[in-house]
């Protein structure tokens, strides 16, 4: 198998994101072989390709009338639209709370891999419906993001 292959996996136990997870919450995780820093990986992840930006523009059109955030709240440190909540040399956690759900992404660099995890806690039926509707797109975007991280990160062990 190619080193650029993206795998679905469990988020390593060392991740600080686990402190947020409660029964009924959504948590997924993907990994790719690469050794870039969490900050660099998060920058690549949130530099969405044109097709993903198009999907996000459709999301904006649909969700704006419901008062949902499209650009995230103001913050001194943001990765794309996501405020950085916590950062070490091994993990970056970013995201925010909204009316329908709370979400965070974790970008973790460990054991010559970069992990991308998404945690979601829904608040209501709208949040659950929204999560269900975006899931196929979320998976495509997450897997593509890690492929781009790997492509930008060079050879494992040299990132």
Q: What does the domain layout of the chain look like in residue ranges?
A: 7-153
Give residue 154's pLDDT.
56
Cα-only R_g, the chain: 15
The per-residue pLDDT for 52 is 84
Whole-number pLDDT of residue 70: 66
Residues 141-145, mean pLDDT to the nearest whole number: 95
Tell me phi and psi for residue 132, to 5 degrees: -65, -40
pLDDT of 101 strictly over 60:
yes
When pLDDT is cut at 50, 70 and 90, the band that residue 158 belongs to is: very low
- Residue 29 neighbours by CB under 8 Å, 6+ apart: 8, 9, 10, 11, 115, 116, 117, 118
- pLDDT band with cut points at 50, 70 and 90 for residue 123: very high
The domain made up of 7-153 has a fold known as Alpha-D-Glucose-1,6-Bisphosphate; Chain A, domain 4 (3.30.530)
Residue 8 near residue 28, CB atoms below 8 Å: yes
Higher pLDDT, 75 or 109: 109
pLDDT of residue 22: 96
Could you count the other beta carbons within 10 Å of the beta carbon of residue 132?
11
Copy the structure tokens of residue 15. 């991740």
Report pLDDT digits (tens) over 23-59. 999 999 999 999 999 999 999 999 988 988 888 788 7
What is the arithmetic mean of pLDDT over 109-130?
95
In the three-class reduction of DSSP (H, G, I as helix; E, B as strand; rest coil), residue 96 is classed as: strand
Q: For residue 36, what are its two tokens?
A: 């870039």
Over residues 122-127, mean pLDDT:
93
Length of the chain, in residues: 159
């Amino acid at each position: 198998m190619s080193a650029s292959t993206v795998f679905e996996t469990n988020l390593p136990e060392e991740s600080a994101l686990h402190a947020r997870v409660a029964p009924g919450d959504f948590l997924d995780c993907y990994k790719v072989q690469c050794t870039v820093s969490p900050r660099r990986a998060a920058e690549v992840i949130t530099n969405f390709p044109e097709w993903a930006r198009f999907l996000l523009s459709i999301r904006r059109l649909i969700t704006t009338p419901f008062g949902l955030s499209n650009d995230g709240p103001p913050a001194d440190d943001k990765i794309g639209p996501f405020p950085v909540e916590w950062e070490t040399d091994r993990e970056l956690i970013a995201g925010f709370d909204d009316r329908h759900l709370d979400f965070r992404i974790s970008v973790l660099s460990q054991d010559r891999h970069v992990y991308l995890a998404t945690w979601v806690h829904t608040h209501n039926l709208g949040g659950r419906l929204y999560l269900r509707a975006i899931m196929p797109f979320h998976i495509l975007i997450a897997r593509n993001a890690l492929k781009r991280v790997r492509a930008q990160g060079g050879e494992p062990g040299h990132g």
